[in-house]
Structure 1
Amino acid sequence: MEQRRRPPGRPDRPGRRDEGARLVTPGLDGRLALVTGAGRGIGAAVVTALVEEGARVVATDLDPAGVETLAARHDGRVTARPLDVTDATAVETLVAGTEETLGPLDIAVNVAGILRDGPVAGLSDEDWAAHFAVNTTGVFHVSRAASRRMAGRGRGSIVTVASNAGGVPRAGFAAYAASKAAAVMFTRCLGLEVARQGVRCNAVSPGSTMTDMQRALWTAGEEEASAQRVVEGDPATYRTGIPLGRIADPSDIADAVVFLASDHAQHITMHNLYVDGGATLRA
C-alpha cells in the first residue's frame, strides 16, 4: 500500500498499534467514510489517511478521474464516485446508495471547495454565488444527508475542511473567506443540534497548503519565490507569515481530520481546529 510522504522533521504519530504496514487509530478500523473533493490535494490526502487507519472510503469528486486513480491504488478499500455537491438530489442519492450497498456511514468529510481570488470591486455575481454554492451549500447538502442517518443510529462524525481565511480577513479573498466562515458556523450549529444523538461535528481550518489551489495563486515561473513570500508574509496586504517556517503538506491537514473523526476526539464537537503553522496568530 502506498505510504504518505512525511515532510522532513515530522515524526510518526504515537499512540497507534502497528498492524504490518498499517498503523491503526482506535475507532477507525472498519469504519465507512465519505469524502468529497477527494480527487486531489487535501481531499486525496484525507482518503489515503483514512485508509491507512483502517477505514473504507467512498471518495467523490466532480471530476471522477482523480478518485478512480485513488481507488486503483488502495486495493478495494476505496470506492470512487462522481459527485456535484451543489446538486442536493445527487448528494441524497449517493448517500442513500452508499448505505444500501456498503453499509452505514460512520464519517463524512467535506473537502470540496473552490477559490477565485480578486478584490470585491471586481468580483462578479457568478463568482460570489459559485463560492457559496460549493463551499457552503455543498457542505449543507452532504452534512444534512449524512447527519440524518447518523443521528438515527446514535453515532457518527462529520468534519468540514474550511480555511483560516474564514477567521482572519484576507485581501482579495472576500468571497472565499465568507463562504468558509459560513461553512464553519453551519457545522458548529449542526453539531449542537445532533450532539444528544451522539453525532460530532467539527471543522479543520488549514492555512496555506501545498495544493493545486495554492499554486494557482503564484506567479508562473516564480514558484519558489512565491512560496517564500507565503512563508515570510506580506505587509503590503496585511498578511502574516508562517511562524513554523513552511507551507503545510496536505497530509498535515489529513492528520487533523483523522484525529477529529476518530475516537481519540470522542469528547470534541463544535470545534474549529486551525492547522496553519501559526499563520493567523489565532487572532
Structure 2
Amino acid sequence: MATIENGSGTRELAGKRALVTGGSRGIGAAVVRQLLDAGAEVLTTARSATGTVPEGAAFVAADVRTRAGAQALATAAQKMLGGVDILVHNAGGARPHRGSSAIPDEEWQDALELNLLAAVRLDSLLTPGMRERRSGMIVHVSSAAVPTPVAPFLHYTAAKAALENYSRGLAAELAPFGIRVNTVSPGRTATPGGEATREQWAQLDAVDRDVAAAPIAADGSVPLGREGRPDDIADAVLFLVSDRASWLTGSGLVVDGGEFHRG
C-alpha cells in the first residue's frame, strides 16, 4: 500500500492521534493500517486480543457495549495518546434470525448497545477535548443495507439507521467547534465477520449460501462485479478524516459496488 502524502511530501495525518474500535480484523484492521501509513498514531480496541492487530498500533481490550467499557477505553486513550483527534467507530454486528419476531429482547438491546450506544458514549467522552482544540474528525461505520432492511437483520439495520440519524444531528451540533462527523456505509465486504454472518444466515433454513451472500440484490449480483475489500472501506474512511474532506460534515459515503443504491 502506498504511503499517503500531501503535496509537500509529508504524511497527511502526521501528528494526529486516532482511536479505532473493532480494529483487530477486517474493515477495522484495514482502517488502522491506512491511518498508520498516513502518519497517525493509532490505538485500537476489541473485546479480546486476537493477535491480528496491525503492527505499529497500540491495543487495549475493551467491551464498548457497556458504559464501563467505553469509559475505560476513553481513559486509556487519554493516557496512551494524550487525546484523540480522529475517532472511527467501526465495532458493530448482530446475529441473524428467521424473522423479526424471532429476535429476542436481549439481542435487540445488544444490537443497540454495540451499533449505536457505544458510539454515542465514546463521542460524549472524547469530544470535550476536541471542542477545546476546536478540531476533530469522527467517522461512524454504518451499513449500506439501512434503506432496504430485511427481517433477519432488523435489529442491526434499525440500530444503524439510528446511528446515521444521530450522526447527522451530532455533525450540526459540533460543526461550530471545527469537528466533522460523517458516516461510511459498507456493502457486502470480504471480512471474517461478514463471512461468519453469511454462514449463520445460510444455516437458518439450510438456504443456498449464495442467496445468503446477496440477499438484497434481486439478481444476486453486485453491479461492479465483486464484493468489497476491507481497503475499499478504509479508503473512504481515510478520505473523510483527511483535510481533503475539510468541507464535508453530516455526510454519508455508501461504498457498496452499486449493490444497494441503484435507484
Displacement, 1:186? 1.1
Identify the residue that residue 246 of structure 1 maps to in structure 2.
Answer: 226
1:231/1:247 contact within 8 Å kept: no
CA distance in 2, matches of 1:147, 1:167: 29
Pair 1:49-2:29 in alignment = no
Pair 1:32-2:17 in alignment = yes
CA distance in 2, matches of 1:280, 1:242: 9
1:108/1:158 contact within 8 Å kept: yes
CA distance in 2, matches of 1:234, 1:282: 10
Alignment match of 2:173 (pick from 193, 209, 212): 193
1:233/1:242 contact within 8 Å kept: no
Please give the secondary structure, in 1, of the residue aligned with 2:254.
strand
Alignment match of 2:124 (pick from 124, 144, 148): 144
Identify the residue that residue 117 of structure 1 maps to in structure 2.
Answer: 96
Amino acid at match of 2:53: L
The 10-residue stretch of structure 1 (250-259 or 98-107) with the greater mean CA deviation from structure 2 = 98-107
- Which consecutive aligned stretches of 4+ in structure 1 deviate over 6 angstroms post-superposition? 12-15
CA distance in 1, matches of 2:103, 2:69: 29
Identify the residue that residue 238 of structure 2 maps to in structure 1.
Answer: 258
Alignment match of 2:53 (pick from 45, 52, 70): 70
Please give the secondary structure, in 1, of the residue aligned with 2:18.
strand
Could you say if the C-alpha distance between residues 227 and 183 of structure 1 is closer, same or farther in structure 2, counting changes exceeding 3 Å? same
- Structure 2: 5+ residue stretches without partners: none
**1:157-176 counterparts in 2 under 5 A?**
157-176=137-156
CA distance in 1, matches of 2:4, 2:64: 35
1:188/1:201 contact within 8 Å kept: yes
TM-score normalized with structure 2 length = 0.88
Could you say if the C-alpha distance between residues 180 and 151 of structure 1 is closer, same or farther in structure 2, counting changes exceeding 3 Å? same
Please give the secondary structure, in 1, of the residue aligned with 2:221.
coil
Please give the secondary structure, in 2, of the residue aligned with 1:172.
helix
- Structure 1: 5+ residue stretches without partners: 4-11
TM-score normalized with structure 1 length = 0.82
Pair 1:203-2:183 in alignment = yes
Aligned residues: 255
CA distance in 1, matches of 2:230, 2:143: 13
Pair 1:60-2:40 in alignment = no
Residue by residue over 1:183-214, the C-alpha shift from the partner in whole angstroms, topping out at 9 and shown as x without a partner, is 11111111111100000000000000001222
Displacement, 1:164? 0.8
**1:124-143 counterparts in 2 under 5 A?**
124-143=104-123
Identify the residue that residue 89 of structure 1 maps to in structure 2.
Answer: 68
1:230/1:242 contact within 8 Å kept: no
2:4/2:38 contact within 8 Å kept: no
